[in-house]
A and B are shown apart, each in its own frame.
Chain A
Amino acid sequence: MTEQLAPSVEELARVDELTTRFPEVVTPDTRKGYEGYIVRPENLIEVATYIRDEMGYDFLANLCGVDYLPENKMEVVYNVFRTTGGRGLTFKVQTPRDSSSVPSLTPVYPGADFQERETWDLLGIRFEGHPDLRRILMWEGFNGHPLRKDWREPFFEEEGKPFKSRWPEGHVYRIEDKNPFANNVAYPEGFDPDQWEPENDARLYESLRRSVKELYSDLDTEIIMVNMGPQHPSTHGVFRIAVALDGETVLALKPVMGYLHRNHEKIGERNTFLQNMPFTDRLDYLSSMSNNFGYALAVEKLMGVKPPERAEYLRVIMAELTRISNHIFAIGMFLNDLGAYFTPALYAIEERELILDIFEAVSGSRMMCNYFRFGGVARDLPEGVYDKIYKLVYDRLPRRIDELDLYLTNNEIVRSRTEGVGVLTPEQAIAFSEAGPVLRASGVPYDIRRADPYSIYDRFDFDVAVRYHGDTYDRYLIRIDEMRQSIRILQQAVRDLPEGPIQEGKPQYQVRVPAGEAYGRVEGPKGELGYYVVSNGKPNPWRYHVRAPSFINLNAYETMCVGNKIADVVAILGSIDIVLGETDR
């Protein structure tokens, strides 16, 4: 990790390029442990357009706000990458805290849409020029912006863990006893419930109508508004879709999220660094090992440690097994959405159970593995597990993937329901910041394991799976391709697994993380899973942000659905493969 931090010749040249092109507008970020540039807000769009068009950073991976309360300012951080590969570029804008507002980047990077709405919702940074700046995770009318450092939740105890009351000399109490309502609620002073008018989604429907008008301004037809979810068998959890229909044809569609918003980031900023590890399991609960991986990489980048060889191999084995178990489950559930009610899913779950057995053996839990540590992994393989993995990846899984392929891929109904449905062009996919299988099914061969290799992925021989039509069928096929590539990686990793220690240094409960920022990212099963961590040298992270692929992939959902039939909305959602724990965090 440490050698990667040193700037290369190319990067030094780049410093010159941006600062000489925009003198006084762009300045290098000189804070210790920080990288990238600070851009003046007035010139943000101009600079971003230059970065995208002239420098080739066409993929906006991450956008998040940071509240620097002591300096009384807000900062918005943009991490951009090239879809042709290589390291990224970070640029930031700063704005005063009390009237925080920056120009919206949606005209340059349409993928900024949801992330800007999230930043507005949770941090209260207004994005001027955003076409539809509504709250996204909390409801309209919620009091305050929760991720601001001076906003306190009703069950607030202390700024950071471990809480004093939990130490031996402390007095343990129930937090309910300290709240006047004995419940997790707080109301502003002078609030009168009799006078309160709930918003009732008025702004959501207004936004839907606006989208319809933009498309069909001259058409006078009866438009039906339909709500699917949050309790609906085909929305993969508590996800809600508001659709405007003309007959059966979708005119406009707005995803509504936040029904599983578990305040991951607020809790994460109260936790110590290591305490966040089990919380990352619960983000994308179908692939907890991958989530661990991304977070471990981000914090290791800050700490400057590197895990030993065996740990690296174990990490890759677990991450690839996770990818297979996730994709096989996704395919099962996708077929469910097409109407093959639970038969393919049962086959898929059977294989997934075998992988879960391995996870249970190494980590003690089937789903919530909490297996990675900074600079290693928690436990070595118990006796007999190596043989189990060996048999699985050399014998059973390849056969079962072929079987799945044989039964499903050329099925008449699957093909007629999915071919040509929900098409996303490569340009659109990049613009909307789609990642993972959705991006690669649109013909963009962008896989972080290849484009910007982390861990030991540069040692393995595998192909980046890519399909070119960008329709629902290709998004199904790409998962089969990716499972086959994962098997290839697994076979090599299992074959070469070296002996040795599994943890760099001693295992510690409390790690020392130097001040600075880091963006760590992995190619998760759903796409680019990134963690943006800011440390100020204290035991708790100052900012902890998750770039959730399921959330950002939904940016293109409306584009994919408009013009299709209402039944295809379900199929397209299944092909994006979202997990609500990650979408809402």
Chain B
Amino acid sequence: MSDMKQENINSTHYDIPLELQNQVAITTLDKIYNWGRRSSVWPLMFGLACCAIEMICTAASRYDLARFGMEIMRPSPRQADLMIVSGTVTKKMIPQIVRLYNQMPEPKYVLAMGACASGGGPFKEGYNVVSGVDRYVPVDVYVPGCPPTPQALLHGLITLQRKIDAQSIKDVRWYRKGEIAEIPIPVYGPDLIDPRQIEIIKQQTRQQPAAEQMEAASAEAQA
């Protein structure tokens, strides 16, 4: 809120007549736009694992997320601005996460809470674990910890506010021409199939028998 102190608002180098000074404020469009957005970031009510419990504690009375205007957690992605990925992202869950992300309206942000969401964490080697949600959706803020304490999550949210402060209405992606491309939703295959990787998958799975045939052929030639 520091930006909205009277001195700050009035320090835009415009001369305001004395009698209007408490009634008129002059500021930049960016500032007022960002101030509105950063003070009412509504997170998606969406808990994945252990970190979700710390997220609930952050929202409760002791740490009180309401101080930042963020206490209104919406279960519907259509009403949410921020997706807090709170916990281990598994291969079985990632199609739903990508779908939720696609359903959120712009402007939207993603905060990866904890080691698992940031990079797989202690479960990285597991066969059903995605090593970091950033392999599928773009992440704005990473919060380390296993699980991060509520203080760490608050720090992450303040960092997000700073990021919002630095954006300018001139070049944000949601006011540009053209549609924003949706992220293709992964498919359950023999293992998780990322539609963006289909070409590599084809190459790899085709190469293997081919290489074997060549080996067999060379073995025959030697014989």
Contacts and interface: CB of A to CB of B under 8 A. Distances in A.
Contacts of B126: 153, 262-263, 266-267
A189 B198 CA distance: 15
A196 interface: yes
A185 B90 CA distance: 12
Nearest to B126: A263
Contact of B60 (A142, A260, A349): A349
Given A185-B192, A267-B125, A190 B50 contact: no
B128 A237 contact: no
A30 B98 CA distance: 53
B150 to A, nearest CB: 9
B124 to A, nearest CB: 7
A231 to B, nearest CB: 6
B52 A237 contact: yes
Interface stretch (A215-223, A279-287, A524-532): A279-287
Contact of B131 (A184, A191, A199, A258): A184
A198 B192 CA distance: 11
Prevailing SS type, chain A contact patch: loop
B158 to A, nearest CB: 20
A157 B205 CA distance: 21
Nearest to A256: B92
B49 A260 contact: yes
B117 to A, nearest CB: 12
B87 interface: yes
Most chain B CB within 10 A, of A191, A286, A368, is at A191
Nearest to B204: A180
A270 B124 CA distance: 13
B90 A261 contact: yes
Interface stretch (B14-22, B159-167, B183-191): B183-191
A261 B92 contact: yes
A83 B131 CA distance: 43
Interface string A171-191: 000011000110111111111
A141 B190 contact: yes
Contacts of B208: 189-190
A262 B128 contact: yes
Contacts of A266: 126-127
B49 A231 contact: no
A262 B131 CA distance: 12
Contact of B127 (A154, A180, A187, A368): A154
A143 interface: yes
- Chain A interface: which size bin? 35 or more
Given A267-B125, A279-B122, A366-B149, A142 B48 contact: no
A262 B87 CA distance: 11
A358 to B, nearest CB: 15
A277 to B, nearest CB: 12
Given A193-B198, A238-B93, A260-B49, A198 B205 contact: no
B140 interface: no
Contacts of B53: 285-286, 367
Interface string B143-158: 0001101000000000
Contacts of B65: none
A194 to B, nearest CB: 8
Interface string B60-84: 1110000000000001000000000
Nearest to B199: A193
A270 B122 CA distance: 13
A259 interface: yes
A199 B92 CA distance: 13
Contact of A237 (B47, B100, B197, B200): B47
Contacts of A139: 92, 188
Given A196-B189, A349-B56, A350-B60, A153 B127 contact: yes
A346 B61 contact: yes
Nearest to B99: A231
Contact of B128 (A138, A279, A349): A138
Contact of A285 (B49, B75, B189, B204): B49
Most chain A CB within 10 A, of B49, B206, B208, is at B49
A231 B205 contact: no
Interface string B110-133: 000000000010111111111100
B11 interface: no
A350 B56 CA distance: 12
A580 B205 contact: no
B61 A188 contact: no
Given A142-B191, A191-B190, A232 B75 contact: yes
A143 B100 CA distance: 27
6 contacts: A142-B188, A193-B193, A261-B92, A263-B126, A349-B61, A367-B53
Interface of A: 137-139, 141-143, 146, 153-157, 175-176, 180-181, 183-194, 196, 198-199, 230-233, 237-238, 258-263, 266-267, 270, 278-279, 282, 285-286, 345-346, 349-350, 352-353, 366-368, 580-581
Given A142-B191, A367-B53, 17 more contacts: A143-B190, A153-B125, A154-B127, A155-B127, A183-B131, A183-B197, A185-B193, A189-B209, A190-B208, A191-B189, A192-B205, A196-B189, A198-B188, A262-B123, A263-B126, A263-B129, A282-B49
Interface of B: 45-50, 52-54, 56-57, 60-62, 75, 87-88, 90-93, 96, 100, 120, 122-131, 135, 146-147, 149, 187-194, 197-198, 200-202, 204-206, 208-209
List 8 tightest A-B contacts by C-beta distance, closest first.
Answer: A263-B126, A143-B190, A285-B50, A153-B127, A233-B75, A349-B60, A262-B123, A191-B205
